[in-house]
């Protein structure tokens, strides 16, 4: 059985290429940006917002430390 979730850890803005994962939009992705500076965190979230909008995903904040769920569309 295929795993329903994937965990992506981004440690800096240069790691943003990990968000090209084919899983985004197809399965639930746990994005961990806890080890990112405040400035890079804002940049990553801006990029993620556009990506999620384009793929019709929903973003849910798990905690204020920098963990988010990217949830694919339900249709």
How far is it, in rounded angstroms, from Cα 21 to Cα 29? 9
Residues 6+ apart with CB under 8 A from 38: none
Bridge-partner residues for 46, per DSSP?
none
pLDDT score of 66: 94
- pLDDT on residue 75: 73
Instruction: Note the residue count of the chain.
Output: 75
pLDDT by 10s per residue, the chain, length 75: 355 889 999 999 999 999 988 889 999 999 999 999 999 999 999 999 999 999 999 999 999 999 999 999 987
Alpha helical stretches, state H, 15-60:
38-54
């Amino acid at each position: 059985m295929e795993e329903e979730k994937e965990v992506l850890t981004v440690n800096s803005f240069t790691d943003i290429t990990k968000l090209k994962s084919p899983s985004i939009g197809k399965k639930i992705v746990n994005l961990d940006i806890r080890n990112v500076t405040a400035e890079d965190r804002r940049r990553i979230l801006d990029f993620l917002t556009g990506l999620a909008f384009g793929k019709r995903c929903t973003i849910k904040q798990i905690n204020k430390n920098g963990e988010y769920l990217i949830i694919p569309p339900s249709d």
